[in-house]
């Protein structure tokens, strides 16, 4: 048997959120709180009764999920005692390379379950039993479930020690309280150890046009504005923003806590237009099955291209989360009069701050009031249902030529200025194959319109794509392309800036000769690198499942992982392992012909031996084998 772990770090679900706020009068009864009179009887799991700090709350947004609990700071220390928050029994234990690392689950008499993640060690009999089971199964990664009488715990018992295992960015304790499949906000359980007097801080807002006739400062698209800090609790845009039509607001903000360097989530957000509340977002309970829905809550394109997590203050198409109360989905319609917009932010401790700005109505114009920052020859952008073409100004009345099949049509600019012309094309009415202007030409490869609510399959000579029901958040204008450059075959399936709610199935049909060997696999382009996708070969075709759209290609990984010895003697075996392309698939160590448990931290690449009997020395022939996902293996041998 072997020690297995899989590199699916971009899909790890830890879980987080962004809950609620107020303007004018805040109605506390609108809060959703855990039920039961025993909420205040839970014990803080780290140094109870003493001031503690958080570096993460159940209000911050993660890339693919909501953060499900609180991250308790341990002052960069490993080995701080972790206490059971309430009576109960250990019902589950996990040891993973990624995710929560070493984690324990304690089920309590009230039916709730608490989780303690990123532990360095377990304590007591369960620690020894888990290690024995790892040796029996010959696997570092393990998941175990227990019955009520096996490992009972009392409130305040030390069940483990804090660490930095799994997908942790530093030493801390990840602590959750669950009610079935629903994550509750631990800060609702009356813990007095957390003191917070700092109000949330806002950095920027973004305004987005939501249909082809909307404008922001006479332009179409999405535009960001830096906020000015007027006071500790107030952020403003000093001059009105010209706007017309249906406008969506997005917010970039976070929260700080006393004495903590962490940037935490904001519990409550509300937006008002004049005196009317048009949007509120209260997240205090998260259904784990709906956690990926965060991709509809955030501006996914900005997240994917720049790593910024903007919270939409409107309910976009495909957003089925139940965190909201909104008028017209939170969308602002700017027509005749100024709209004074107030956004109220409130954290769990009741600290509030406010964002203020004004939207001033401005009729649609064919001229831009503000010049573009730079002149471009010809480029395109997909915004909602609109294809936006930006071209250098063409002399005379050349305009833009749209090609669809054998047909060509001329189009005048929608608006222009600063030596640029902007063309807006409603893709619901037409999907051009290409466009041309005096600045050049662009190809789009639109193939079909994919509905978001039903399953759909696209077939072609070089790719079949299956979209399961509800795999999309919104209607997709599917572009598919196939190209060969420098003897590398690339399949373009949609755009990487469009999120998927569920995996899609891709069947790629290579036209170049491919030898389906173990070190040949499909990879997805991510920035300047590639992410391993694998693939199953069937009659010259390869099938993969992907949670992202984008560019896919075939790569061959023929280089074995590296093994670097740090320490190897009778007391300990310690190595650093790395792989450059496909990633580590598994490793296996033996001493004197017997399997040896090696713990693995993927962040540092460190392998560390853990003997079943600490008193037994490492003696004999030592062998470590490391295999990457392409099947390349490297073996280290030494006699101790």
In a domain, 368, yes or no: no
**Average model confidence (pLDDT) for the chain?**
91
**Structure confidence by residue, pLDDT tens digits, 497-531:** 999 999 999 999 999 888 778 899 999 999 889 99
**Closest Cα to residue 550, out of 494, 498, 500?**
494
- 613 contact partners, CB below 8 Å, separation of at least 6: none
Q: List, for residues 69-124, the tens digit of each pLDDT value.
A: 999 999 999 999 999 999 999 999 999 999 999 999 999 999 999 999 999 999 99
* 171 shares a domain with 48: yes
432 contacts 477 by C-beta, under 8 angstroms: no
**What is the signed CA dihedral for 530, 536, 537, 542, rounded to 10 degrees?**
-50
SS3 74: coil
Same-domain check for residues 263 and 310: yes
Residue 75 to residues 29, 172, 259: CA-CA distances in angstroms?
36, 8, 11
User: How far is Cα 54 from Cα 135, in angstroms, rounded to an integer?
Assistant: 36
Rounded to an integer, what distance in angstroms lies between the CA atom of residue 610 and that of residue 122? 14
- On whether residue 329 sits in a domain, the answer given is yes
Q: Is residue 287 part of a domain?
A: yes
- Give 462's Cβ-side CA count (13 Å radius): 15
- 542 and 566 fall within a common domain: no
Q: Are β-strands 54-56 and 352-361 bridged in parallel, bridged antiparallel, or unpaired?
A: unpaired
For residues 545 and 574, membership in a common domain is answered with no
Please report, for the domain that includes residue 135, its CATH number: 2.70.70.10
| Residues 262, 240 within the same domain | yes
Among the candidates 189, 222, 257, a domain finishes at 189
**70 domain-assigned:** yes
Closest C-alpha among 217, 219, 223 to residue 241: 217
Task: Please tell me whether residues 19 and 162 are part of one structural domain.
Answer: yes
Q: Same domain, yes or no, for 234 and 341? A: yes
Asked if 390 and 486 sit in the same domain, the reply is no
Helix (H) or strand (E) holding 128: helix 125-137
Q: 471 and 430, same structural domain? A: no
Domain range enclosing 94: 3-189
CA geometry: angle at 72 spanning 177 and 98, to 5°? 75
Query: In this structure, what CATH number is given to the domain that contains residue 494?
Result: 2.60.220.30
Examine the domain organization and report whether 383 and 284 are in the same domain: no
Pairing of strands 386-392, 400-404: unpaired
Residue 162 belongs to some domain of the structure: yes
Residue 327 lies in a domain: yes
CA distance 244 to 366: 13
For residues 333 and 245, the answer to whether their CB atoms sit within 8 Å is yes
pLDDT at res. 369: 63
Whether residue 289 lies inside any domain: the answer is yes
Last residue of one domain, picked from the residues 541, 556, 571: 556
Q: Determine how many CB atoms are found less than 10 A away from the CB of residue 514.
A: 16
Tell me, yes or no, whether 101 and 60 share the same domain: yes
Low-confidence ranges of the chain (pLDDT < 70): 1-40, 59, 369-375, 397
User: Measured between alpha carbons, how far is 555 from 543 in angstroms, rounded to an integer?
Assistant: 15
Number of domains in the chain: 5
Question: Does the residue 366 lie in any domain?
Answer: no
- Same-domain pairing of 493 and 513: yes
Helix, strand or coil, per DSSP, at residue 637: strand
Domain boundary among 335, 361, 387: 361
């Amino acid at each position: 048997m072997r020690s297995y772990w899989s590199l699916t770090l971009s899909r790890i679900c830890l879980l987080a959120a962004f809950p609620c706020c107020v303007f004018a009068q805040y109605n506390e009864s609108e809060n959703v709180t855990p039920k039961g009179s025993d909420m205040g009887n839970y014990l803080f799991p780290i140094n109870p009764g003493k001031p503690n700090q958080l570096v993460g709350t159940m209000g911050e947004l993660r890339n693919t999920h909501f953060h499900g609990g609180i991250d308790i700071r341990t002052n960069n220390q490993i080995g701080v005692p972790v206490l059971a928050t309430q009576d109960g029994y250990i019902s589950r234990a996990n040891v993973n390379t990624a995710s929560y690392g070493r984690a324990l689950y304690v089920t309590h008499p009230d039916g709730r379950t608490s989780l303690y993640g990123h532990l360095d060690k377990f304590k007591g009999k369960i620690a020894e039993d888990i290690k024995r089971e790892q040796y029996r199964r010959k696997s570092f990664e393990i998941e175990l479930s227990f019955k009520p009488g096996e490992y009972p715990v009392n409130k305040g018992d030390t069940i483990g020690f804090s660490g930095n295992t799994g997908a942790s960015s530093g030493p801390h304790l990840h602590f959750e309280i669950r009610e079935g499949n629903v994550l509750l906000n631990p800060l609702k359980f009356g813990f007095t150890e957390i003191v917070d007097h700092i109000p949330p801080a806002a950095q920027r807002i973004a305004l987005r046009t939501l249909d082809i006739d909307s404008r922001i400062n006479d332009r179409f698209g999405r535009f960001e504005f830096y906020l000015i800090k007027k006071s500790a609790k107030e952020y403003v845009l000093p001059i009105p923003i010209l706007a017309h039509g249906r406008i969506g607001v997005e917010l970039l903000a976070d929260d700080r806590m006393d004495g903590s360097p962490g940037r935490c989530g904001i519990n409550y957000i509300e937006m008002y237009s004049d005196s009317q509340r048009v949007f509120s977002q209260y997240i205090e309970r998260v259904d784990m099955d709906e956690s990926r829905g965060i991709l509809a809550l955030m501006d996914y394109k900005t997240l994917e291209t720049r790593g910024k997590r903007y919270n939409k203050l409107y309910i976009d198409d495909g957003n089925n989360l139940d965190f909201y109360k909104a008028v017209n989905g939170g969308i602002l319609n700017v027509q005749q009069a100024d709209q004074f917009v107030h956004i109220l932010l409130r954290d769990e401790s009741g600290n509030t701050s406010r964002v203020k700005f004004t939207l001033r109505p401005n009729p649609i114009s064919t001229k831009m009031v503000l010049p573009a920052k730079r002149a471009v020859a010809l480029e395109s952008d997909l915004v909602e249902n609109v294809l936006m073409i930006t071209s250098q100004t063409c002399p005379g009345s050349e305009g833009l030529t749209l090609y669809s099949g054998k047909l060509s049509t001329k189009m005048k600019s929608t608006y222009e200025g600063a030596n640029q012309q902007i063309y807006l094309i409603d893709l619901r009415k037409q999907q051009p194959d290409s466009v041309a202007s005096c600045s050049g030409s662009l190809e789009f490869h639109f193939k079909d319109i994919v509905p978001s609510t039903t399953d759909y399959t696209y077939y072609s000579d070089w790719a079949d794509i299956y979209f399961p029901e509800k795999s999309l958040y919104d209607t997709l204008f599917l572009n598919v392309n196939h190209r060969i450059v420098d003897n590398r075959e690339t399949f373009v399936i949609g755009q990487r800036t469009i999120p998927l709610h569920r995996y899609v199935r891709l069947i790629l049909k290579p036209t170049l000769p491919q030898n389906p060997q173990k070190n040949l696999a499909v990879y997805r382009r991510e920035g300047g690198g590639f992410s391993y996708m694998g693939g199953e070969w069937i009659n010259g075709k390869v099938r993969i499942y992907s949670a992202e759209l984008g560019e896919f290609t075939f790569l061959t990984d023929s280089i074995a992982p590296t093994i670097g010895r740090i320490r190897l003697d009778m007391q300990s075996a310690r190595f650093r392992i790395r792989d450059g392309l496909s990633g580590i698939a598994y490793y296996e160590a033996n001493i004197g012909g017997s399997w040896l448990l090696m713990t693995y931290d993927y962040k540092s690449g460190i392998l560390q031996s853990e003997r079943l009997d600490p008193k037994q020395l490492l003696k004999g022939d030592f062998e470590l084998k490391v295999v990457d996902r392409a099947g390349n293996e490297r073996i280290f041998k030494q006699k101790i």
